[in-house]
Amino acid sequence: MIISHNHKFIFLHNPKCAGTSFREAIAFYHDDPMPFWGYTTDPYWGGMVDLAHLRLWEIQILYPAIFHCLTIYNSLTFVRPPLERFISAFGYHHKMFRPDIDLPYLDRTAQIDLIERFMSETLTRDAVRTDVRLVHFSPQSWFTRLPGGQMIRHILPLTPDNLNTHSFTLLGLPRAYVDRQNRGSDDLSHLAEHPAVQDFVGQFYHQDFALFQSDPALASLTSLPGSLGETAFPWAGWTAW
């Protein structure tokens, strides 16, 4: 998260949506004493909190002054298709937290078996809420809305134009170079074609689909393609975000 009190804007870092890249591009403007990076202990729930990927209710409870700023400052975040983002998060999770599993080197059958077991045995709403290692699987609506309504002023689909140009205009900043961070070349896109994965994503992220379908600017993010191609997934090669 980047907070500029001088320029009165907040960039909220939705995981697996180029947040690290954009954060680095605008880090110069961060002037809050808290860097909002790394981990801290949650005094209320007793677990760990990922400061880079704070969900809105975490900001509201742990950093009420920043939450107040969200209500009056300009704000922006990026979103991407739930299925595409889920596959990206799956690859990232195993790279960071399961080095004992060489996911990219498993054959496709083994990869499918692994993701099926991960969906059935590991991913629950409670686990994603409380296990800091699973924050990248958080529904995107947790970074954009609370029960009272939308909290983020600008919710942009992750496209090259939005990332490199339009976002800066909306924040009132001069355009800066956005360097691609967290590079990865492992292609797990075939997992998105698996019916069980599509069914899980459709159910687990039903709030995201409802949110995107309610906004014409985001409706294109809701498709669950039967086959994965450049049209449906223009960012398929950027799987490490």
Look up residue 212 and give its two tokens.
Answer: 């995107």
**Average pLDDT of the chain?**
91
Residue 179 per-residue DSSP state: P
CA distance 194 to 229: 14
Q: What is the pLDDT of residues 167-192, one digit of tens each?
A: 999 999 999 999 877 655 478 999 99
Domain ranges of the chain: 2-222
Between 180 and 92, name the one with better pLDDT: 92
Give the model's confidence band at 2: pLDDT under 50 very low, under 70 low, under 90 confident, else very high.
very high
Rounded to the nearest 10 degrees, how much is the dihedral formed by the CA atoms of 209, 213, 219, 225?
A: 40
Cα 72–Cα 153–Cα 36 angle in degrees, nearest 5: 70
Residue 224, both tokens: 């669950």
pTM (2 decimals)? 0.90
Helices then strands, each counted (H, E), the chain: 10, 8
CATH class of 2-222: alpha beta
